[in-house]
Structure 1
């Protein structure tokens, strides 16, 4: 079994959080363009919120074997964003967020495909869910690109989100 924090794709790898990566997460989520689909009021992270989120993801990993990790580019170790799985209302949920200067380079699709494959190879769960703000066309495309199927729309953080599911195939 490959631990989630050891996942690698052609260009990317997930890594455990280090102090400088917490600061990179803070910088990423301090950008209003990144935050616009994450908070109904467009509030950005302060450093305390970044520390809180990382601590929460570490607890999720310790308690459930899933969590969010930092994404680094293999070629140079650059911080790209965060990705992984988290428990959401008792269900495993795929999630990712990239720093704005790394948008449009195929990184979200690459890490999401890697996460999908890791999940069905290393977890006993029969499915995982995902969701994105209904106006976040890029994230919606990524979820559909990895084979997820729309289930319903619902409110999350007082914002409309499209929910998806991906079930384990018969050969997985």
Structure 2
């Protein structure tokens, strides 16, 4: 029997819920759905190198997501619809080497765009970050051409901070501090 059978994880990653969404740890059972998402050209347009990745590389990304939780105590959650269990995407916190701060990041499957899921998941992730981790600030690194992500950043309360190169790519940096977030989104 493997140490972690398919669908199981040994890490203590919290489960977050909203009215419509469940956010949980990735498991081996999610690999195919995640690979399908990462093979979608529309989804990856503004991520990484901007081109689809194969299932092997997608698995490596999933392992990195889980390793992020293990090393830093926070990371990205898998997002699924509560009522159907359908895979929606991934949302949460990133702080990779060379990052200018802890990022709130989102990536929703194109089939679910326009439903407000990224906003809903981002807000619950941000509240968790400010309440549980006691962070003072969150940032978002956004491709300069990604207008939808810029609008979402503004909708959650982030404001444009600057433009800088991060990991070899030009990014628009948006930011929000704890006091701003709690004023805009009281519990």
Using the size of structure 2 for normalisation, the TM-score is 0.82
Q: Deviations over 1:94-122 (max 9, x none)?
A: 11101110001111111111111111111
1:78-135 deviations in Å (ceiling 9; x for gaps):
0000111011436211111011100011111111111111111111221111121121
CA deviation profile, 1:28-63 (whole Å, cap 9, x unmatched): 1101111111144x3211111111111111111111
TM-aligned CA deviation for residue 24 of structure 1: 0.8
- Find 2:27's aligned residue among 11, 18, 24: 18
State which drifts further: 68-77 or 86-95.
Answer: 86-95
How far apart are 1:170 and its partner, in Å?
A: 7.8
Unaligned runs of 5+ in 1: none
Partner Cα distance (1:43, 1:157) in 2: 16
Query: Does the 8 A contact of 1:127 with 1:166 survive in 2?
Result: yes
Contact 2:94/2:102 (8 A) holds in 1: yes
Mean CA deviation greater in 90-99 or 29-38 = 90-99
In structure 2, do the counterparts of structure 1 residues 90 and 139 end up closer, same or farther at CA, with 3 Å as the change threshold?
closer
Match of 2:65 in 1: 57
Q: In the aligned structure 1, how far is the partner of 2:180 from the partner of 2:29?
A: 42
Match of 2:104 among 77, 94, 99: 94
CA distance in 2, matches of 1:171, 1:38: 26
Moved more, 18-27 or 158-167: 158-167
Larger gyration radius, structure 1 or structure 2: 2
Judged with a 3 Å threshold, the aligned counterparts in structure 2 of structure 1 residues 106 and 23 are, in CA distance, closer, same or farther, namely same
In structure 1, C-alpha distance between the alignment counterparts of 2:23 and 2:78, rounded to whole Å = 6
Give the superposed CA RMSD.
Answer: 2.0
- Report SS of the residue matched to 1:28: helix
Calculate the TM-score normalised by the size of structure 1.
0.89
Structure 1 residues 66 and 171: alpha-carbon distance in aligned structure 2, compared to 1, 3 A threshold: closer
